[in-house]
Structure 1
Amino acid sequence: MADLDKNNTAETLDVVNPYDQTYVGSVPTVTWDKIDEYLETAQQLFKDRKQWLPAFKRISILKKAAVLISQRADELALLIASEGGKPLVDARVEVARAIDGVELCAKEISALTGKQIPMDLTEAGAGRIAFTSKEPIGVVVAVSAFNHPLNLIVHQVAPAIAAGCPVLVKPARDTPLSCQVFVDIMHEAGLPPQWCRFITCETSTCERMITDPRVAFFSFIGSAKIGWMLRSKLAPGTRCALEHGGVAPVIIEESADIAAMMPSLLKGGFYHSGQVCVSVQRIFAPRDKAEAIAKMLAAGAEKLVVGNAIDETTECGPLIRPKEVDRVEEWVNEAVAAGATLVTGGKRLGDTTYAPTVLLEPPVDAKVSKMEVFGPVICVYGYDDIDQAIAQANSLDYAFQASVFTKNLDVAMKAIQELDATAVMVNDHTAFRVDWMPFAGRKHSGYNTGGIAYTMHDMSQDKMAVIKL
């Protein structure tokens, strides 16, 4: 890092390609004095209703931003691959989703409406009419993760803009460049800069920003350990949404078409090298089929091309940091030493890559069985009774998305009813998502609900008028 200004302790944050550690770009960090200025400006914007942006202006800005993103789609996809290690084929999908998300925010503004409240249900309320309207909640601070460096920012920042909230956004230190471009695009689209600020800063400074009493809403995507810690320190009155990881379970039932499900399971488990909060991690299969399913997964995993995400042929990129390869290697070795069968993988391919790995019957108390791997590892377990499989799937403190593969409607409904998850996919992998659906974790996996419309609702507040006739 190099000094940015002799009179300022801020520094430059260098960004590297996680595959070969080559330089990609840099962004300036800011100190508390600058963040304090941003917060004060944002609070004054919110307090002065004459400065609020009317809905038609917010719609116009968001629509123009979507066009600008589409015009820079190739550049953004390469940037995502370069700084985040997501293969180009998947990075292009992320950019397309980001465009859709911004357009959806513009559309959802028309749904930020109140309703009439009946008052004459009792004599006490008679002679009055009442209705509600929506107002922005106030200053939003968004802190994001590395694994979807553009689309996560869209899901946190664009709803704030749509709801009429000033927003300060701090991306992951590994992947700030996509966020910086997105904020620049919003400004180019006509959003006054003071309404959306891009920030990179030191951890202690970030915590000070998050816990500042001027913050009305805190949006966080990251680890459960950090998210719950920050929530415990929020100023009184600050609302929040936390999105953490899961240890996603898949139940395969006797009637399922095993060959047909393989591409879905491989994509769900090894997409972005497993660095997805709802990545397929635990597969429960009938005991007499578990080994065969593990071998079929292994055969598919062995064909995946691991390499630099900016190469067109790459299907699995690097892990975000070399120390994450160390951690995944340690967890897999622990499971194998405790009795798991290594069906394929189980080795590092370099300082920054790990082979797509399939484990059969790791112990239930192994880290790979009870914690989010966030790496290219799928575990397969045999079960004798589907109730046992559901109980094991539900046994952890984490609950996010789950899935079941079956041709039996009764089994599908049983899984939907009994799996502890916010979404149960039938005949699809656990990582399926479209940007307008609710997306949330239960228990340790999160707090409140993501998804464009749901986030806009969280960043708005109701006001009721009661008029005595």
Structure 2
Amino acid sequence: MIDQIRGQKMLIGGKWVGSDEIIEVRDPQDNSLIDTVPAASTEDMLQCIEEAKEGAKIAASMPVHERIRIINAAADYIEENKEKYAFIISKEGSKTIREAQKEAARCIQTLRISAEEARRINGETIPFDQMPGSENRVGYYYRFPIGIIAAITPFNDPLNLVAHKVGPAIASGNAIIVKPATVTPLSALLLAEAFSYAGLPPKVLSVITGHGREIGDILVIHPAIRMISFTGGLKAGEDIVRKAGLKKISMELGSNSPVIVLEDADLEDAVESSVSGAFWAAGQNCLGVQRIYIQESIYETFQKAFISRTEQYCVGDKQSNLTDMGPLITEKEAIRVEKLVQEAIEKGALLLTGGQRNGAFYSPTVLTNVPENCKIAKEEIFGPVVLLYPVADLEEAIEKSNNVDYGLQAGIFTKNLEKAHKAIAQLDVGGIMINDSSDYRIDAMPFGGVKKSGLGREGIKFALQEMTEPKVVCFKLN
């Protein structure tokens, strides 16, 4: 438990340092002060990058067995202190304690997968004699680390999404600088604590806290940074692309995820999965269920069951094991969601349940009859709001599912394999879950989207590919 305000320090080049300028970290539930972190300056970021240059050399020279040992030791540390990690995740963010415990457990798994994949960064032999005149040449390629990676992470998974960048970066022999979300920096600092305990060499990992307007551009633009791994909003992602210059970019930019429910579906399962997928972490979830397309013959039945289950959702104290959903990350975000819902209602949408705000809390909300010209129908809500639509058949559901600028994941509920495969082939998304909501992911799978949902793929094995480059070696034999 947090007994008093200690004033956390940030990790720069292996040293825990403070600053005269601070940022207050507040609990969104009651706006109480949890702790403070340094507000890094331009000079702090420049120093961080200089330290990382040396860190990149150290990381590249680390043998694979040592990378594996360190990552597993960090995972062990988190496992031994998992209640502390879960408490901080829940305290500084939106998640209930039960949701936070699951995130802490996933972080441990993410790191263990990273340790395993460190031993699988393989190359291949190349048959150079496939080209006439090259009969006396043999060779291969291997993968080498790219150098310094900048990781910019969001508030909604403040521990595991940081681990998804740090784990593979260290596994692949890179240095990494993490800039966590300003509102949830404590979990990222706790991850750094685990790696310090595990014996990670100084300068390989830095976690620098501060305002994006002060330090963000330096991190993005600096030529020493060879890759940017960003998870966040579309506008911020587009801004990074414009500024970054010639470097690798991996981005997950959210979505407006659809779920299709056909008349042969297991309705009880479809309702339960979709309610959880819509309101997990107060809907602040890039995979969250936002649009549900239900075949007309079962629409009324589904709607009634969905509303009933939604109204059973317990909203309240994050630290209670009885609570299903806590507040949004700030009252400002709750007001934003409130305005989106109100705009839809003014344009003809019907409010079926919810629609109430109390500070940073916004009740689980269900809308139907939402016009296509509403922002809430086309953009990512990132709040506890879901839209229900009746459709005639699978073809209409697919057409409407694809009619947005995003394409991260989708779900479909059906017992018909032919229809499932049709959805797999025609839905324009990076992943499709059959008989599950869009809100399903394991940390080993390739994760990312198409259209404006992002660039590249996360998931440890796939992140490792992004964080390394192939080098070709050819011997000419006499």
Q: TM-score band, normalised by the shorter chain?
A: over 0.9
Deviation by residue 1:196-225 (Cα, 9 ceiling, x = unmatched): 011012223211112100000101000011
1:409 alignment partner in structure 2: 417
Show the counterpart of 1:213: 223
Q: Which amino acid aligns with 1:352?
A: A
Equivalent position amino acid for 1:22 in 2: S
TM-score (norm 1): 0.96
Between the aligned partners of 2:113 and 2:59, the Cα distance in structure 1 is 26
Unaligned runs of 5+ residues in structure 2 are 10-17
Asked if 2 retains the 8 angstrom alpha-carbon contact of 1:270 and 1:377, the reply is yes
Q: What residue number does 1:146 align with?
A: 155
Whether 1:25 aligns to 2:35 is yes
User: 1:239-254 counterparts in 2 under 5 A?
Assistant: 239-254=248-263
Aligned partner of 1:193 in structure 2 is: 202
**Contact 1:10–1:30 (Cα < 8 Å) also in 2:** no
List per-residue Cα deviations over 1:436-460 (Å, max 9, x = no partner). 0011011111000011111111111
The superposition leaves residues 24-81 of structure 1 with CA deviations (integer Å, 9 ceiling, x where unpaired) of: 11111221212212211222343x4797211111111011111000011000001111
Report the alpha carbon displacement of residue 386 of structure 1 after superposing the two structures with TM: 2.1
- Aligned partner of 1:259 among 256, 259, 268: 268
Match of 1:181 in 2: 190
* Counterpart mapping for 1:377-456 below 5 A: 377-456=385-464
> 93, 97, 105: which one pairs with 1:88?
97
Cα-to-partner distance string for 1:346-399 (whole Å, 9 max, x where unaligned) = 111x10101101111211221221111111111000112321221111011111
Q: List gaps (5 residues or longer) in structure 1.
A: none
What secondary structure is seen at the aligned counterpart in 1 of 2:130? Answer: coil
| Cα distance in 1 for residues equivalent to 2:58 and 2:106 | 33
Q: CA deviation at 1:113?
A: 1.1
Q: 2:259 and 2:414 mapped to 1: Cα distance? A: 11
CA distance in 2, matches of 1:161, 1:51: 9
In structure 2, how many angstroms separate the alpha carbons of the residues matched to 1:158 and 1:338? Answer: 46
Separation (CA, whole Å) in 2 of partners of 1:360 and 1:50: 53
Give distance in 1, aligned partners of 2:287 and 2:269.
21
Determine helix, strand or coil for the equivalent of 1:123: coil
274-283 or 386-395: bigger deviation:
386-395
Percent sequence identity is 36
TM-aligned CA distance change 1:50 to 1:409, over 3 Å: closer
The one-letter amino acid of 2:242's match is S
Aligned-partner Cα distance in 2 for 1:294–1:280: 15
2-structure distance, mates of 1:256, 1:102: 36
Q: Which residue number in structure 2 is paired with residue 230 of structure 1? A: 240
SS at match of 1:281: strand
RMSD over aligned Cα atoms: 1.7
Give the Cα separation in 2 of the matches to 1:14 and 1:157.
25
- Counterpart amino acid of 2:103? E
Deviates more, 1:9-18 or 1:131-140: 9-18
C-alpha distance in structure 1 between counterparts of 2:92 and 2:59, whole Å: 40
SS at match of 1:310: coil
TM-score (norm 2): 0.94
Mean Cα deviation higher: 196-205 or 163-172: 196-205
Which secondary structure does the structure 2 equivalent of 1:433 belong to? coil
Q: Partner of 2:469 in structure 1?
A: 461
CA contact (8 A) 1:298 1:357 kept: no
Q: Aligned-pair distance for 1:287?
A: 2.2
Equivalent pairs, count: 462
For residues 9 and 166 of structure 1, what CA distance do their matches in structure 2 show?
23
